Amino acid sequence: MKVMERVRESTIGRSIWRVPDRATERDRAAGHWANFFLHIYPVKMRRKEMTFRYTWFLGVASVVLFGSLVVSGIYLMFFYVPSPASAYGDMQNLQTEVAFGQYLRNVHRWSAHLMVLVVAAHMARVFYRGSYKSPREFNWVIGVILLVLTLLLSFTGYLLPWDQLAYWAVTVGASMAGFVPLIGETIKGILLGGDTVGSATLLRFYVLHVAVLPTAVGLLVTIHLWRWRKDSMLDSGGVDE
Amino acid sequence: MSDQEPVIVEGKRVLGVVPGTPPGGERKVLDEQEPVMVWPHLLVRHGVAALVVLVISLLLGLFFNAPLREIANPLNTPNPEKAPWYFAALQELLSHFHPMVAGVLVPTAIIVGLMALPYMDRNPRLAPRFRKVAVATFTLFMVAWIILTLIGFMFRGPNWGWVWPWQEWYGEL
């Protein structure tokens, strides 16, 4: 620790951390605000809101799973081409030839299922805690959008292995879009890029899965956390207990 | 005194004991409403929670392989034809109601209803026992949805007929 203090107090250390002295709470708050990774947190929170009982830590679990999915997903992207001619072969190659390919695919798959569960449980926990009440209404709305995006991320990823499981699950799922009155067939056409699941669908789902949806989730999570921090010390005007 | 053995308490030599109460009062009572520093109090907990979640997902990957069936074949429809598990409730509803209802109205109503929830429920109370209507409605919806998901996921076999999961298994992850 002595070495770390010396580093912090050096010229370079001061340029990086800016607040080298962490003796008092005020210093620590200043250090907190000067840190990119910590500034998404409030500086102070009520003691009871930090307990396991209060949140079950489902929000942070969702973020961790999303992070783990991004990391494992990027690794998988190196070995996968989204075309019906190569997708399935790439999956087999990934599982047999690529170092840790099978393992990272497993982690990606199970983390995705877990994330759907955890995000849904997070919503239920927030509901029973009453944490969606004024002034946090809009953050709940963002949370609902994030739940829908999580389902879409999982659904678009489901097609990518291009096996029987993927193909028919997406065929069933996409057929539901066709039932929307008047514009149903149009929506289905845009989603699938044709009448049935094919090469256009695979490319569309891939682009949605690796670019569009993760960016949207990342942006909305940022807003979600920013609002959480801003509202962290506000009362909902209600009386607890 | 000087020729006696020193009294050692927790590695420190006790020089004397002062009678009376400590200046900060007796034992400090933790105030639940008191704001405390996020760093370290919350960060430590979040760190532990993150590690637990990571360990669970990393262990799942170690012990269970992700499924990979034979290559996609548009000419060979499997029976049963199953949606991913999180759409199993919708698929189950589709087998009972008109597609307009199960495939369009219900999902739209759920998403819109969830978004509208904080604007409809203007009761400021937080504890569940003062929010009986909201809690009962939400719980009913959740339980129904979980049951429908389980039925669609585990209890449906060929031609969407009823099966017992301990006899035949058609759930796919």
Is the residue at B142 inside a domain? yes
Smallest CA–CA distance, residue A144 to chain B, in Å, is 6
Report CB contact under 8 Å: B104, A151: no
Is residue B134 scored above 90 in pLDDT?
Answer: yes
Residue A136, both tokens = 């946090």
Q: Say which residue, A112 or B25, is predicted with more confidence.
A: A112
Per-residue pLDDT reduced to its tens digit, A130-189: 999 988 999 999 999 999 999 999 999 999 999 999 999 999 888 887 888 888 888 888
Contact A169, B83 (CB under 8 A): yes
Q: Do B106 and B137 reside in the same domain of the chain?
A: yes
**Structurally, how many domains does chain B consist of?**
2
R_g (Cα) of chain A, nearest Å: 22
Class (C level, CATH) for A56-230: mainly alpha
Residue in B36, B54, B62 closest to A44 by CB: B36
Domain that residue B47 falls in: 37-66
**Touching check for B156 and chain A: CB below 8 Å?**
no
Q: Do B62 and B89 reside in the same domain of the chain?
A: no
**CB–CB contacts below 8 A, A to B:** 225
Is the residue at B119 inside a domain? yes
**What's the pLDDT score for residue B1?**
47
Is the residue at B153 inside a domain? yes
Is the residue at B129 inside a domain? yes
Report CB contact under 8 Å: A106, B78: no
How much is the average pLDDT of B53-75? 95
* Distance from C-alpha of B64 to C-alpha of B172, rounded to nearest angstrom: 13
How much is the average pLDDT of B41-69? 95
What is the DSSP track for chain B?
-TTSPPPEETTEE------S--TT-SSPPPPTTSEEEHHHHHHHHHHHHHHHHHHHHHHHHHH-PPP--SBP-TT---SS----GGGHHHHHHHTTS-HIIIIIIHHHHHHHHHHHHHHH------SGGG-HHHHHHHHHHHHHHHHHHHHHHHSB-GGG-B--TTT------
Q: Do B99 and B153 reside in the same domain of the chain?
A: yes
Residue the block writes with tokens 């029976």: B79
Report CB contact under 8 Å: B126, A129: yes
**What's the pLDDT score for residue A236?**
63
**Touching check for B126 and chain A: CB below 8 Å?**
yes
Smallest CA–CA distance, residue A69 to chain B, in Å, is 10
How much is the average pLDDT of B85-99? 92
How much is the average pLDDT of B87-102? 90
* Distance from C-alpha of B108 to C-alpha of A175, rounded to nearest angstrom: 16
Angle at the Cα of A148 from the Cα atoms of A109 and A143, rounded to 5 degrees: 110
Is the residue at B74 inside a domain? no
Angle between helices B106-120 and A137-159 (to 10 degrees): 160
How far are the Cα atoms of A72, A116, A136, B89, B172 from residue B86, in angstroms, in the given order?
22, 8, 27, 7, 11
Residue A192, both tokens = 């699938």
**Touching check for B172 and chain A: CB below 8 Å?**
yes
CB burial class (10 A; 0-12, 13-18, 19+) of residue A30?
middle
Strands B8-9 and A44-46, sheet pairing: unpaired
**Touching check for B83 and chain A: CB below 8 Å?**
yes
**What's the pLDDT score for residue A105?**
97
Own/partner long-range contacts of B46-54 (Cβ < 8 Å, ≥24 apart): B46/A57, B46/A60, B49/A57, B49/A60, B49/A61, B49/A64, B50/A60, B50/A61, B50/A64, B53/A61, B53/A64, B53/A65, B53/A114, B53/A118, B54/A64, B54/A68
Q: Do B92 and B41 reside in the same domain of the chain?
A: no
Closest to A125 (Cα-Cα) out of B149, B135, B33, B125:
B135
Q: Do B156 and B95 reside in the same domain of the chain?
A: yes
Is the residue at B28 inside a domain? no
Closest to A18 (Cα-Cα) out of A28, A215, A165, A152:
A28
**Touching check for A214 and chain B: CB below 8 Å?**
no
Closest to B77 (Cα-Cα) out of A197, A204, A85, A151:
A197
Residues of chain A predicted below pLDDT 70: 20, 236-241
Q: Do B59 and B91 reside in the same domain of the chain?
A: no
How much is the average pLDDT of B1-8? 68
Lowest mean pLDDT among A25-39, A141-155, B14-28, B79-93: B14-28
Contact A47, B31 (CB under 8 A): yes
**Touching check for B2 and chain A: CB below 8 Å?**
no
Q: Do B41 and B106 reside in the same domain of the chain?
A: no
Nearest CA in chain A to B74: A167
Chain A residues whose CB is inside 8 A of the B45 CB are: 50, 52, 57
Chain B residues whose CB is inside 8 A of the A112 CB are: none
Nearest CA in chain A to B53: A61
Is the residue at B1 inside a domain? no
Is the residue at B3 inside a domain? no
Residue extent(s) of CATH 1.20.810.10 domains in chain A: 56-230
Closest to A227 (Cα-Cα) out of A131, A121, A129:
A131
How much is the average pLDDT of B144-164? 95
pTM: predicted TM-score of the whole model, two decimal places: 0.90
Q: Do B96 and B47 reside in the same domain of the chain?
A: no
**Touching check for B99 and chain A: CB below 8 Å?**
yes
Q: Which residues pair with A163 in a beta bridge?
A: B71
Mean of pLDDT over chain B: 90
Report CB contact under 8 Å: B128, A111: no
CATH code assigned at B118: 1.10.287
**Touching check for A34 and chain B: CB below 8 Å?**
no
Contact B172, A165 (CB under 8 A): yes
Is residue B64 scored above 80 in pLDDT?
Answer: yes
Report CB contact under 8 Å: A110, B60: yes
Residue A231, both tokens = 């509202």
Chain A residues whose CB is inside 8 A of the B34 CB are: 46-47
